Every structure is written in C-alpha cells, then in structure tokens.
C-alpha cells in the first residue's frame, strides 16, 4: 500500500491499492486467503497471569515479606501462635484484595471486544452477504445503514446523509457528518477525518459504503487496545509510602533488636535463650504488623462514604490518591457540561434574545425550528433524534409550544432531507386553505444564498445589505461564544412543485431568525472548579471538541480567564512539540481541544514527570489508555463506555465534576486518618522499643515477651482503626495538595513520632523508677514484681491516653472534640478492659507474671497517662503559636 494516508486518496485509488473491486468486492477465495494470512478482525489480548500467579505476586512486597518473617518468628521461636495467626490472616486478606483489584486492563479489553458488532454486511463476488465481523479482511466492501456499528476501519466510497456518532473515540459531543471527499492535509486528527468510518462507532443517520482499510489491532480502536495493554501501572502515593515505610522500619527495628540482645548479654541481664527471646519479641512488637490491615479497613470505610456521595471506588488505594491530587484533567462533555444540546440564544426582529425570554408560538422562528425537525417524541416524553434537533423541540416544549397540535393542524406533506453538501433541510406543511408552509433550517451562510426577504416584527421586507450585515454580525457574535448556530427561513407556496427538491423548494425564502445552541456547563461545575482551585488543585479540560467550544466553556467555568488563548492548545499544535518541549511548556496549558488518545497519555505523562499526582476523567474508548496511565483514572457511570470504566480506578455514578471535588475531600480525610493511625502506632511501638532498650542498658529487670506482645495486640489495632473513622478536620480543603514527594512523616508527623515515642518510654521508665525507689511492699522480689507490673500497666495505658492526642496532628484535642467519635470511645474502652483484665482478674496474674497494684500505684500509672496528654497538648499549643507568628 502507498505511504499516503487513505483519507488523502480518492476512494477509487484506495480500492485499487487494496486490490479490491467497488462493484463486486473481493472473491470469497481471496477473502479466505487474506483471513488466513492476516488473522481475524478482533482485538489481541495481552498475556494474562493465572490466578495462582496473581496470588503469589502479592507476596513480593517488602513489607509483606517482613510480616511473613515476623509470623514465623512469633510462632516457631516465641511460640506466640495467636500473634502469628493474626499476622498471617492480615497478609492473606491483603493478597486476596490485591488479586480482586488486579483486573483493570483485562476488563477494559474485554469491554472493547463486547462493543464490536457481531455481524457485517459485505459485498463478495458481487453478492451482499452477512458474515461475522471477525471474518472481515482488508479490501472488503462494507454496507452501512442507520443503527449499525462500524465493524472495521473504512474509507468511505458512498455517503448518503451519513452521520456517525464517534464520541467514544473522539470525545466530540454530536454525530459527525460524513462524505467521500479527499482530505488534502496529510496530518489530520481522527475527529476531522470526515471520509472515514472507524471500528466500534455508531451509524446514527443515513447510509453509506466503505472499503476496509484496517482490521483488528491495526484499527484506531486496536491502537487504543494496544496502548491499554502496554500502559504501565503507576504506583499510588500510598503504595509508595507504605513500601518505603516498611523498609525503613524493618532496618531500624532489626538494628535496635540486635543492640538490645548484645547489651543484654554483655550485662548478663538474662540467659542467652531468654535474651534472644526478648530481642525477637521486641522486633515482632515493634513491626506494625496490623498496619496493612488498618490501612485496608480505613480505605474500605472511605469507599463506603464515597459511594454514598456518588463516587464508586474500584481500587482501594484510589481513595487516598485523590487526597494527594495536584491535577484534575477532566473531559468536557457530560462531566463539566450537561451532555445535552440546549438553545441558549435566539436572534429575530433585529435583536439578540436570551433563551429564557422564549419565542411567541405564532412567530415563524418557533414554527420552523419545530417543523423542519425529525425528532420523535416517545410516550414517556423522551425525545429521539439528532441532538441539535431535539434541543429545538425541547426549547419549544419549555415555552408551551404544542408541537403535536400544530402538526395536526399543519401536517407534513413533503420534505427535502438534509444533506451535508447544501447543509439544509426543508419540510412542506398543508395550511388547509390551499396553500403550503415551507420550513427550512440549516447553516446560516447557505441559507442566506437562498433568501430574498426578512421578517421583522411580523412585517416582511426586502433583505437589504444593511439587514444582511446585521444578521451576519449576530451570527459571528454567537459563533464566538462557541454556539452552534442554525438559520431559520420560510415561505408560503400555492402548490407543491413536481419534483420536490432544493431547486424547487429552497429558493426565494424569507429569513426568520437564528438559533444558537451549546452543550451548557453543569450549574454546579463552576463552584466545583473554584473549590478545586482553593484546594491548590489545577483543573484542566481535555476534549475532542472544537477549540472555540472548549475555550468558551472553560472560560465560563473559570478554568481559564475568558479569552485567554495562550492557555488553549489543540492536538495538532501539541504534535509539533517534542516530549521534552511539552514537558517544559505543559504548565502553560489548561485547555486541550481536538485531542487524540495518545495526546491524553502525553499530557498525563508530562505532569507526572514534573512530580505531580494526576487524576484523569473520561467516558470514551479513546480515554482508556490515559485513564490507566493516570495516578487515578475516573470513569463516567452514566455516559461512560464499559471500556473506560474497566480502565478506571473510580467511577462517578452521576458523571459530575463536582463529585470529584467531594471525593478529593474524602481522600484527604482518609490520608489524614491513616497518618494519625501511623503516628499512633509508631510512637507506641517506639515507646516499647525505648523502654526495653533503656531497661537493658540500665541493667533493670526487663519486661517479659508476653507483656510486650499483649500490649502490642490489644492497644495497637483497635484504637488505630477507630482513628481511621475520625471526622473531617475543619479547613482540610484550604490546604495545598500534599503531592507525590510527601510521605506519612510529612507535616511534622515524623518528629512527633520520635519525641512522643520517647516521651512514652521515659514516662514508663519513670514510673518503674518510682516503683523501685518508693516500694509499697517489702522484699526484693515483691518490689521488682510491683515495679514491672507498674511499667507494664503504664506502657499500655499511656498508649491509650496518647490516642486522644493524635485525634488531630496539630489542632487541640478540645477543638476537634475528645469524645465526638463513638467508635473511638468504644475502642479505647475495649482496649482498656483487655489490658486491665490481665492485672485485675485473679488467675491472669500468674499467666502474665504481674501482681495486684494498690491505689497509690494505680494513681502513678494514671498520672503518667494524663501527663502524656498534658505535655503533648502543650507542645501542640506552642507549635500553633510559632506557626502563626
């Protein structure tokens, strides 16, 4: 085949190039040979992993490996089988979640396959056959009619009023008028290839014939499938942070455990087996083995909250990713706009009018827009037809125009259908008095060529040059507002001519007015854009629609300043920039028009290379590669194809941009709560490590492994999960996105974990020191037993007291409310009882090697817990004043 694009060649040249015949098509033998050589017309699937492979892949994460090692040590060395069982259960649950979530790309490809039409009407050996579409080959002549799904990529040979809905491929909101004319440009985007029909697009009007020029993976849809298969999964900020956290913690904990063991042996604090057991217990206790489960539970609770607000999460980490989003790249049609063409302006009687003002039912303009119209109204009131025509009928209904009654009085008796060359449509109606009303609508420039008069306030006068200029000025002004403008004209005739055609009907018309339509922005979208900007998020529009339309809507929404041309770029202009140039210039642009699938992926990649977290919305097949490449892909639940939903991390049940902003708020809350849980867990674990380390260094009696493991079990998980359902803190949407570079220790959490963990350890050691120095009982053994019991109780209770501190990382406990979270209150109570039962209930004392404490000793323990709250709150108060200053 020639290197020249098929759309730049004549139909005859393309047919000759693929060795076919317009009149007879391929022979059956040749078609079979090509099918055997090139394979079936279907999309290829990437190599798929077995269920076992997917399951095993979940155990490659460093943190998971550490937890498995901890489980083995806890069971085989420490003989804490319950602890080992909990760790293993956590790991297995996480693996199951991972397998369940790991089918995005496969679902997307499966959905693409389902979109394909099962059969095609094809010409072979001069005979029209209906064959399975997967048997189509290059060179086949395919017949198309309204209602068909295009079975392969075709160069059109014939086109009779053919319109094809290509929004899933191009993002353009209205069906595209097709013709067979050669396109002289060699670089033309998909949306502008008007002599082509693409696989999986829908015929909405007319009929046509085309020659197959690409099948399977060579089609435009095939290219998208290839991009989906080859797109790399991006790690979410949460996954990166957890992995980094796991590695850092493990190294630190193993070093500390080794030091404790070495110092203990040097000081002869215990026998070698006992000291080894203590070091292992310390390592097991210090590793936050419940962290993956806690994060999973917090994310799952977040998904439930989001679902109630129309954001359906398909992949758990997406909940948190939303909270770190820097860029929201949104499709226009249906997300920022209503996906419904609507009359916005009318021009008649020499003046421009807002649509709300309406048009009198007796005005010819209202009659024409309803008469020259093929919209069908169903019994339930739903309108079927071309979006621009349904908009005209909807306008009439909104202003009490009874179309059914009018057509009953003036029935349609003849018509001249629309065709893409003359860009007009006319209908003829019987007025019942021997005369007929001709209603014509179409492109204003074409209509003016056939117009000699104009109606002005019911008076019909000659269309002078001044009047024509006023009309053209109004048309230009409406077009600059990105309105789709139609002209309306009419005349009265005494008889129906024979034949009825453009020459006999569409001449000497009376101009009635102009109608400007647009797919308007959603009422709440502008507010949502403003909220996103206030939250430090940059909203952008990426659409397949025309530049003027995209720029106008973006200006009205506040994405760009009205008239800011520099912030708008087309796909063709983007092609002229190298990846390096575009990465440098990407900050300039907020609106992208007439883009192709690869452009969307380039936009996502350019921002990611600048370290930004990108959320991408989309509803079409063409959006799927970018949805998969983005940090969070957001599909549309109503208008979205199954392909785009399959490639997404989250689906909007209401297709509404404002729902994304709501989800961002929920995502920020989720991250904040995970951060609180981590601060709580790590400061508690650090307190345990420091207590054991200092006891060993000072030569004191050391807490037994059972003490550390029980404290770790009952005071870690339950309160940490409860912190995960803390309400949203005030002002969370006034903060800047935390971005990819931040982690769980950002925002002062890292230093807080260290000093608060040290404080827990020091307070525990202080209580132990008081217990030894001022004993209640006599006898060396009793003194040491009491002191160890006090240290055990303090280390456990001080963590529960500290849980109140971390309800807010920076704000006062009294500002956020100490007891507002009922789940948290119950969690603290349950953990306290589980800890207290080991000291207060007879029989447990010997099991846990503890003694009963008197009132003075309990007062010391509780005083240390209260002191923890007081000190942390005072430090936070100082931090707030310093920050304010």
Domain boundaries, the chain: 6-39+111-230, 51-102, 237-310+662-884, 317-338+522-658, 342-518
The whole-number pLDDT of residue 715 equals 83
The helix/strand/coil state of 748 is coil
Residue 100 pLDDT > 80: no
Taking the C-alpha atoms of residue 799 and residue 673, their distance in angstroms, rounded to an integer, is 17
Q: CB-based contacts of 192: which residues, under 8 Å, 6+ apart?
A: 183, 594
Position with higher pLDDT, 395 vs 339: 395
Res 398: pLDDT:
92
Q: Is the pLDDT of residue 705 over 70?
A: no
Report d(CA 623, CA 652) in Å as an integer.
Answer: 15
48: left (phi over 0), alpha (psi -120 to 50) or beta: beta
Q: What is the mean pLDDT of residues 322-341?
A: 86
Please, what's the largest Cα pairwise distance for the chain?
125
pLDDT of residue 94: 59
Which one of 61, 153, 331, 545 is the catalytic residue?
A: 331
State mean pLDDT over 776-786. 73
Average pLDDT over residues 590-596: 90
Q: What is the mean pLDDT of the chain?
A: 84
Asked if pLDDT for residue 91 goes beyond 60, the answer is yes
Average pLDDT on 724-741 reads: 82
* Residue 743 clears pLDDT 50, i.e. is over it: yes
Known catalytic residue at 331: yes
Amino acid 487: pLDDT: 96
CA–CA distance, 395 with 460 (Å, rounded to integer): 25
Higher per-residue confidence, 80 vs 657: 657
Q: What pLDDT was estimated at residue 108?
A: 43
pLDDT of residue 509: 96
pLDDT (0 to 100) of residue 115: 43
Residue 116 has pLDDT above 60, yes or no: no
Tell me what percent of the residues of the chain surpass a pLDDT of 70.
Answer: 86
The pLDDT, as a whole number, for residue 112 is 41
Options 1.10.1200.120, 3.90.1710.10, 3.40.50.1000, 3.30.70.1380; CATH for 317-338+522-658 is 3.40.50.1000
- Per-residue pLDDT at 138: 95
Give the pLDDT of residue 16: 93
How much is the average pLDDT of 797-804? 94
Torsion angle of the four alpha carbons 194, 196, 199, 202, in this order, in degrees rounded to the nearest 10? 40
Mean pLDDT of 322-348: 88
Q: How far is CA 422 from CA 183, 200, 471, 491, 500, in A?
A: 18, 28, 20, 19, 15
For the chain, give the percent of residues with pLDDT over 90.
Answer: 38
Separation between Cα atoms, residue 520 and residue 20, nearest integer Å: 46
C-alpha count within 13 angstroms, C-beta hemisphere, residue 809: 23
The answer to whether residue 873 scores a pLDDT higher than 60 is yes
Neighbours of 850 (CB within 10 A): 22
Highest mean pLDDT among 38-52, 300-314, 318-332, 818-832: 818-832
Q: What is the pLDDT of residue 1?
A: 53
Predicted confidence band of residue 274 (pLDDT cuts 50, 70, 90)? low
Superfamily of domain 237-310+662-884 in the CATH hierarchy: Calcium-transporting ATPase, transmembrane domain (1.20.1110.10)
Which token pair is 663?
């989800």
- Integer Cα distance of 583 and 442 in angstroms: 43
Confidence of residue 106 (pLDDT cuts 50, 70, 90): very low
Residue 238's pLDDT band, with cuts at 50, 70 and 90, is: low
Q: Show the tokens assigned to 337.
A: 């706009």
Closest CA to 617 of 311, 290, 863: 311
Model pLDDT, residue 770: 92
SS (H, E, C) 425-467: EEEEEECCCCCEEEEEEECHHHHHCCEEEEEECCEEEECCHHH
Average confidence (pLDDT) over 229-255 = 67
pLDDT band, residue 97 (cuts 50/70/90): low
Select the more confidently predicted residue: 12 or 457: 12
Look at residue 64 and tell me whether its pLDDT is greater than 50.
yes
Please say whether the beta carbons of 40 and 216 come within 8 A: yes
pLDDT band at 101; cut points 50, 70, 90: very low
Exposure class string for 732-769: b at 16+ Cβ within 10 A, else e:
bbeeebbebeebbbeeebeebbeebbebbbebbbebbe
C-alpha pair distances (Å), 690 with each of 255, 260, 642, 693, 860: 13, 10, 54, 5, 20
Quick one: pLDDT at residue 147? 72
Residue 624 pLDDT > 90: no
Residues 190-210 have pLDDT tens digits of 888 999 999 888 887 788 999
pLDDT at 239: 62
CATH architecture of 342-518: 3-Layer(aba) Sandwich (3.40)
Category of 594 on φ-ψ map: left (φ > 0), alpha (ψ -120 to 50) or beta? left
> What pLDDT does 173 receive?
60
- Kindly tell me if the per-residue pLDDT of 67 is higher than 90: no
pLDDT tier, 422 (very low <50, low <70, confident <90, very high otherwise): confident
- What pLDDT shows up at residue 103? 45
Highest-confidence segment of 163-167, 535-539, 648-652: 535-539
pLDDT at position 146 over 80: no
Q: Is the pLDDT of residue 508 over 90?
A: yes
Cα–Cα separations (whole angstroms), residue 368 to 429, 443, 474, 491, 515 = 11, 14, 19, 10, 11
3-state secondary structure 293-361: HHHHHHHHHHHHHHHHCCEEECCCHHHHHHHCCCEEEECCCCCCECCCCEEEEEEECCEEEEHHHCCCC
Give the model's confidence band at 184: pLDDT under 50 very low, under 70 low, under 90 confident, else very high: confident
Q: What is the pLDDT of residue 320?
A: 73
- What pLDDT does residue 47 have? 57
pLDDT at residue 105 in the model: 37
Candidates 606, 651, 610; CA nearest to 627 is 651
> Which residues make beta-bridge pairs with 208?
144, 159
Per-residue confidence band for 485, with pLDDT thresholds at 50, 70 and 90 = very high
- 6-39+111-230 in CATH: which number? 2.70.150.10
List CB contacts of 644: < 8 A, sequence separation 6 or more. Answer: 108, 618, 619, 620, 621, 623, 624, 627, 635, 636
More confident: 395 or 642: 395
């Amino acid at each position: 085949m020639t290197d020249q694009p098929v759309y730049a060649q004549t139909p005859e040249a393309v047919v000759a190039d693929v060795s076919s015949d317009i009149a007879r098509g391929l022979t059956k033998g040749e078609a079979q040979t090509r099918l055997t050589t090139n394979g079936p017309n279907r999309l290829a699937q990437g190599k798929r992993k077995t269920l076992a492979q997917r399951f095993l892949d979940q155990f490659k994460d460093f943190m998971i490996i550490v937890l498995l090692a901890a489980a083995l040590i806890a069971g085989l060395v420490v003989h804490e089988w319950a602890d080992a069982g909990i760790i293993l259960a956590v790991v297995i649950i996480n693996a199951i979640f991972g397998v369940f979530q790991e089918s995005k790309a496969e679902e997307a490809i499966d959905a693409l396959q389902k979109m394909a039409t099962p059969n095609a009407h094809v010409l072979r050996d001069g005979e029209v056959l209906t064959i399975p579409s997967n048997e189509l080959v290059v060179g086949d002549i395919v017949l198309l009619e309204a209602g068909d799904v295009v079975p392969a990529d075709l160069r059109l040979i014939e086109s009779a009023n053919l319109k094809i809905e290509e929004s899933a491929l191009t993002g353009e909101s209205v069906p595209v008028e097709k013709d067979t004319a050669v396109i002289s440009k060699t670089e033309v985007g998909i949306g502008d290839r008007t002599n082509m029909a693409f696989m999986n697009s829908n015929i909405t009007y007319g009929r046509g014939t085309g020659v197959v020029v690409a099948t399977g993976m060579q089609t435009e849809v095939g290219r998208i499938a290839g991009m989906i298969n080859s797109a790399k999964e991006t790690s979410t900020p949460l996954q990166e942070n957890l992995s980094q956290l796991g590695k850092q913690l493990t190294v630190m904990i193993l070093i500390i455990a080794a030091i404790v063991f070495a110092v203990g042996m040097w000081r002869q604090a215990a026998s070698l087996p006992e000291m080894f057991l203590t070091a292992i217990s310390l390592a097991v206790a210090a590793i936050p083995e419940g962290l993956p489960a806690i994060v999973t539970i917090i994310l799952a609770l977040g998904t439930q909250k989001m679902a109630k607000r129309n954001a359906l999460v398909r992949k758990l980490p997406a909940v948190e990713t939303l909270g770190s989003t820097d860029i929201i790249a949104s499709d226009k049609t249906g997300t920022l706009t209503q996906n419904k063409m609507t009359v916005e302006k009318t021009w008649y009687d020499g003046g421009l009018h807002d649509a709300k003002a309406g048009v009198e039912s007796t005005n010819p303009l209202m009659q024409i827009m309803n008469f020259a119209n093929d919209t069908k109204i169903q019994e339930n009131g739903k309108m079927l037809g071309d979006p621009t025509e349904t908009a005209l009928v909807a306008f009439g209904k909104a202003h009490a125009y009874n179309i059914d009654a009018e057509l009953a009085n003036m029935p349609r008796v003849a018509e001249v259908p629309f065709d893409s060359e003359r860009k007009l449509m006319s209908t003829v109606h019987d007025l019942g008095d021997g005369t007929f009303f001709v209603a014509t609508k179409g492109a204003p420039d074409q209509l003016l060529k056939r117009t000699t008069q104009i109606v002005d306030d019911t008076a019909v006068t000659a269309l002078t040059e001044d009047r024509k200029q006023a009309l053209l000025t109004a048309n230009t002004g409406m077009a600059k507002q990105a309105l789709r403008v139609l002209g309306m004209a009419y005349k009265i005739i005494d008889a129906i001519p024979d034949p009825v055609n453009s020459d006999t009907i569409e001449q000497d018309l009376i101009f009635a007015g102009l109608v400007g339509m647009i797919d308007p922005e959603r009422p709440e979208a502008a507010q949502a854009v403003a909220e996103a900007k206030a939250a430090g998020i940059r909203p952008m529009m990426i659409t397949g629609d025309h530049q003027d339309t995209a720029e106008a809507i973006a200006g009205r929404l506040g994405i760009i300043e009205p008239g800011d041309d520099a912030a708008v770029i087309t796909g063709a202009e983007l092609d002229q920039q190298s990846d390096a140039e575009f990465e440098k210039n990407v900050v300039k642009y907020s609106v992208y028009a007439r883009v192709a699938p690869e452009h969307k992926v380039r936009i996502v990649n350019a921002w990611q290379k600048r370290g930004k977290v990108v959320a991408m919305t989309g509803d079409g097949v063409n959006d799927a590669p970018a949805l998969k490449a983005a940090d969070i892909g957001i599909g549309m639940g109503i208008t979205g194809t199954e392909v785009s939903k399959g490639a997404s991390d989250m689906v909007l049940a209401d297709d509404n941009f404002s729902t994304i902003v709501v989800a961002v708020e929920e995502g920020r809350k989720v991250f904040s709560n995970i951060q609180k849980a981590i601060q709580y867990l790590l400061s508690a674990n650090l307190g345990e490590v420091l207590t054991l380390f200092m006891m060993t260094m000072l030569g004191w009696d050391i807490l037994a492994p059972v003490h550390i493991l029980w404290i770790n079990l009952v005071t870690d998980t339950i309160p940490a999960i409860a912190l995960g359902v803390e309400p949203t803190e005030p002002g969370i949407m006034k903060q800047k996105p935390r971005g990819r570079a931040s982690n769980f220790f950002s925002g002062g959490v890292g230093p807080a974990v260290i000093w608060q963990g040290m404080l827990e350890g020091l307070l525990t050691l202080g209580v132990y020191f008081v217990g030894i120095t001022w004993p209640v009982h006599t006898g060396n053994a009793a003194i040491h037993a009491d002191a160890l019991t006090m240290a055990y109780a303090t280390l456990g209770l001080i963590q529960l007291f500290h849980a109140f501190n971390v309800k807010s990382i920076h704000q006062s406990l009294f500002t956020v409310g100490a007891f507002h979270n009922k789940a948290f209150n119950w969690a603290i109570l349950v953990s306290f009882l589980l800890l207290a039962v080991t000291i207060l209930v007879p029989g447990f004392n010997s099991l846990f090697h503890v003694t009963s404490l008197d009132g003075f000793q309990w007062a010391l323990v509780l005083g240390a817990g209260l002191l923890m709250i007081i000190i942390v709150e005072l430090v936070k108060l100082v931090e707030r004043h310093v920050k304010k200053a």
